[in-house]
Structure 1
Amino acid sequence: MIKKIVFLGGPSTGKTTLCETLAKRLNTITVAEYGRAYWLEHQVERRLNPEQLLFIAQTQNRWEDDAAESANHYLLCDTNAFTTWHFALHYHGHALPELSKLAGDCWSRYELVVLCGDDIPYDDTWERSGDANRHEFQAFIRDYLAKQKIGHIVVKGSLEQRVASVLHILGKNELSLAYEEPDSSTYFLT
């Protein structure tokens, strides 16, 4: 059985690098962030419309489902429908009902949710919207996970520290996460 792991975090929190590094260590594959490639080709004034965002979330889910057939024990997902829903809220103040449903339902797709910390230097590339936006997105994600009591781990530090944290968690047989109170900075497996 394939265990899906999703990586979340604001822009430039090391999600892609962590996914790719772990894929090599675990001899498996990643599911790239479809929304990034789509945005680069279709954005208008740095925005996508609500229908495009729904299409991105649907495609991302389809990519995950297809990739699961080729994965080796773990499938590492660089994003999920929640992230696309969050961008809809950021761009438009709302999301289409279908996208909201995908975002609400997406948590059952993953055995592990990894929140990448924003403690690493910001990589200011043209498609990103600034370090302040990164911290705002990070706070939104952290607050959402806390309010919805979605179990997750937080990884911080260097790439090697982050890799070691995930590998440590995966070394345990139980991938059922318990939620800790919002003021706690650490989430543990039970």
Structure 2
Amino acid sequence: MALTAEADGVTPDAADDSTHREFVRQWLSRQGIRVAVVFSSEAYGPGFAEHLGAAHVTVDAARRQVPVSGTLVRDNPAQFAQYLHPLVAAQLGAVPPGPVPRVVLLGAESSGKSTLCAALAEAFDTTWVPEYGRTLHEQKHGNLDYEDLLYIARRHAELEDEAAAQARGVLFCDTNAATTALYSYYYFHRCDPTLQAMAAVCGQRYAHTFVCAPTVPFEQDGWRGPEALRSFQHGMILMQLDFYRIPYTLVSGTVAERVAKVRGQL
């Protein structure tokens, strides 16, 4: 049976203010939550706070500091996407506008992602973002915890945002949250819901996705799994991209050939 507002006990949007306020008051009471202060930028804020028996603080009612509102976002998500969390923006189909488009390179261990990212950054006279998971993996001597995977995805996204302000024309990114989610399942047989959500919107976050074929000689640097695992990883990445319906381009050959392939797509 599909959930509806009535079946779930949620007040319909069209209900009057008093009904909405009472619904919230009762819900908070059932959770054992007592609200001391209500912060809002809306005209209904003081009345809502009074109904809850709380104080009210008005925040930027004129919308000068942050010129956005829920109404504006609903009317034009793309225009105001910069004020939204990336996950929310992507789910609304409104990727926050950035200085440059982001191109992500995926691939199994020792498939040439980092080498190609560096070569592309040089060829395009721009910058690139290394795989933060590798950095933390080395810092913790290979002893990652389950909670580290979500942290890796979040920190990598932050590093991308920082690098985007310095990039010229395009930003190249080594790995994304979707691959981090794969590693979470591989090592811990589970994945944080927030990391799952970050993986699900990778198709909107990146303008192009390239997958490095595992055809270069395998290099065991002491941090990687066995070479036999590489083919399995490659297949899992392709399966995940197909599942999320993310278009991708497979690149192979020498570094120069791979750079040329990417150039031809951008």
TM-score normalised by length of structure 1: 0.85
Contact 1:13 1:117 in 2 (8 A): yes
- Structure 2: gaps spanning 5 or more residues: 1-98
**Amino acid aligned to 1:127:** W
Contact 2:203 2:244 in 1 (8 A): no
- Structure 1: gaps spanning 5 or more residues: 171-190
Structure 1 stretches of 4+ with a deviation exceeding 4 A read none
Q: For residue 161 of structure 1, what is the aligned residue in structure 2?
A: 257
Deviations 1:51-81 (A, max 9, x none): 1111110000011111110000100001111
Contact 2:153 2:176 in 1 (8 A): yes
- Residue 153 of structure 2 corresponds to residue 57 of structure 1: yes
| Residue 25 of structure 1, aligned match among 118, 123, 132 | 123
Deviations 1:62-113 (A, max 9, x none): 1111111000010000111111111101101111111111111222110000
Give the C-alpha shift of residue 130 in structure 1: 1.2
| Residue 38 of structure 1, aligned match among 136, 150, 167 | 136
Contact 1:47 1:91 in 2 (8 A): no
Contact 1:8 1:113 in 2 (8 A): yes
**Amino acid aligned to 1:51:** E
Number of residues of Structure 1 aligned to a counterpart in Structure 2: 168
Q: In structure 2, how many angstroms separate the alpha carbons of the residues matched to 1:99 and 1:147? A: 16
TM-score normalised by length of structure 2: 0.61
SS in 1 for 2:128: strand
Q: For residue 211 of structure 2, what is the aligned residue in structure 1?
A: 115
Q: In structure 2, how many angstroms separate the alpha carbons of the residues matched to 1:125 and 1:134? A: 14
Contact 1:15 1:116 in 2 (8 A): yes
**Amino acid aligned to 1:104:** A
SS in 2 for 1:119: coil
The structure with more radius of gyration: 2
Give the C-alpha shift of residue 137 in structure 1: 0.6
Contact 2:200 2:244 in 1 (8 A): no
Deviations 1:145-164 (A, max 9, x none): 12332101000111111111
- Structure 1 pair 106–147 and aligned structure 2 pair: CA distance change class (3 A): closer
Relative CO higher for 1 or 2, CA cutoff 8 Å, sep ≥ 6? 1
Give the C-alpha shift of residue 5 in structure 1: 0.2
Give the percent of matched residue pairs that are identical in Structure 1 and Structure 2.
35
- Residue 214 of structure 2 corresponds to residue 85 of structure 1: no
Q: In structure 1, how many angstroms separate the alpha carbons of the residues matched to 2:110 and 2:247? A: 22
Give the C-alpha shift of residue 3 in structure 1: 1.1
